[in-house]
Structure 1
Amino acid sequence: MLASVPIEWLWLLALAATVIHCSAMATWIPVRRFRVAYPFVMVGCGAGAVAVGLSRFGPAAMLVMYAFTLIGLTIGLFPTRKLFMAYVHEIDNGVTPARFDHPRSHLVFCVVVVVALLFAGFALTR
């Protein structure tokens, strides 16, 4: 279904997903270096993922799966946003614990949402 859409719209979908995800992460982790570097990391990883999948799935499918995965990651990390802010404030105050504890339910929720949206994106490209 989405594979029949013109490729320009799929690039726009991937760009919108990247902007939404990077904006959310910049809000949840208010560190200047992170805000500057994270979009470049995400664009590099997305370009790598699209390039690796081109031979098997094609550019349209890879752009849809990239966009759906990023939106899934944004939704999946939503419950953890307050912990991210608390960890940043602790680090700013000089407290550097050896380990940051987080509920396993947050991890399970994130994985389930990302995988579900990845499968949804895959189903919509077939």
Structure 2
Amino acid sequence: MPPSLDGTWWWPIAAAATVIHCSAMAAWIPVRRFRLVYPAVVVGCGAAVVAMADLALYAFTLIGLTVGLLPTRARLTRWSHEINRGVTRERYDWPPSHLVFCVVCVVGAALAAMASTR
């Protein structure tokens, strides 16, 4: 995004990022309760981020989180189906490479947001 992007354009970009992220998470975690609560949590946290920082940071980090969770989507789906069947685990092991990829994507997206708004 060019730094000269008008501030009014960040609102539709942030709305699109929210819809994309919530849709992806709803597809990856097919639990009814999650589908109802998660968008409200994302919008609530987004409002706090917008109040403290900026709209670009919210939009970019949501997209970074969505991309960062791509390698883990099959595990999320499998674990949510297990939870629906009543199976509980002691631990849900995340592969370290998936966790590192997610962190790198979110931090990279946050840095891109800062660079795009300066």
What TM-score range do you get, normalising by the shorter chain?
over 0.9
Match for residue 59 of structure 1?
Answer: none
Q: Is the 8 A contact 1:2 1:64 kept in 2?
A: no
Q: Does 1:12 align with 2:4?
A: no
TM-score scaled by length of structure 1: 0.88
TM-score scaled by length of structure 2: 0.94
Paired AA for residue 14 in structure 2:
A
Paired AA for residue 38 in structure 1:
Y
Paired AA for residue 29 in structure 1:
I
Within 1, Cα distance between the matches of 2:84 and 2:17?
30
Runs of 4+ in 1 over 6 A off after TM superposition: none
Paired AA for residue 82 in structure 1:
A
Paired AA for residue 123 in structure 1:
A
Match for residue 111 of structure 1?
Answer: 103
Paired AA for residue 7 in structure 2:
I
Paired AA for residue 104 in structure 2:
V
Within 1, Cα distance between the matches of 2:106 and 2:31?
25
In structure 1, the gaps of 5 or more residues are 54-61
Paired residues in the alignment total 118
Within 1, Cα distance between the matches of 2:86 and 2:37?
23
Match for residue 35 of structure 2?
Answer: 35
In structure 2, the gaps of 5 or more residues are none
- Deviations along 1:40-88, one digit per CA (max 9) or x if unpaired, are 10010010011122xxxxxxxx111110000000000011100001101
What percentage of residue pairs aligned between the two structures are identical? 61
